A and B are shown apart, each in its own frame.
Chain A
Amino acid sequence: AQSVTQLGSHVSVSEGALVLLRCNYSSSVPPYLFWYVQYPNQGLQLLLKYTTGATLVKGINGFEAEFKKSETSFHLTKPSAHMSDAAEYFCAVRDTYNNNDMRFGAGTRLTVKP
């Protein structure tokens, strides 16, 4: 089965600084990859996804991620952090043949300092 590892359970950046959240996956078949964001006391909201095609995908709120097959990575970046970006972020993987087996990472809590 596929799996996801998010490096760093907590990341802290200053407002205006680069945001980099790391995600590595394991999958025996071509994966679909996702980043979700969760604000306090809310459900998960999709930030962006990779299915096929262009390996650099852009999402909402200025976030983007690059699928690197050789590194089995799907890191999330944003050039300039905003206070409203403070939340928990989850990377997820699903294989292209099994519609019902989505695996989530443990999450990374992003703190943005003024």
Chain B
Amino acid sequence: DAGITQSPRHKVTETGTPVTLRCHQTENHRYMYWYRQDPGHGLRLIHYSYGVKDTDKGEVSDGYSVSRSKTEDFLLTLESATSSQTSVYFCATQNHYEQYFGPGTRLTVT
């Protein structure tokens, strides 16, 4: 397994507050991804990174931003959290063909 950790694992926040989720990998994989998982939708790509300081938008990027200042860390920021962003967030890295997933962060926006 790729060594991927996510923090925090659970968070409850209020509407309108900024939130940052962290993904840390120990495998030196170049590609990193943030997904959200919602019932009936599977996983949907929010943003991805193809190197330090190189990021791009995914399918559902509105309301989210990312940063990658080091190979091992990929941050996801909700600028102003909304109830529609209540979800489980997964970070992934990619090496060759497959993606490796972190344990997830359950975010609740009240």
Contact = CB atoms under 8 A, between A and B. Distances in A.
Given A43-B90, A43-B103, A100 B31 contact: yes
A41 B10 CA distance: 11
B102 A100 contact: no
Contacts, number: 51
Contact of B101 (A44, A100, A105, A107): A44
B42 A105 contact: yes
B101 A106 contact: no
A43 B94 contact: no
Contact of A46 (B48, B98, B103): B98
B32 to A, nearest CB: 10
Contacts of A102: 33, 45, 99
B40 A106 contact: yes
Interface in B24-80: 31, 33, 40-45, 48, 50, 56, 58
A41 B103 CA distance: 7
Interface of A: 4, 9, 32, 34, 36, 41-46, 49, 51, 90, 99-102, 104-107
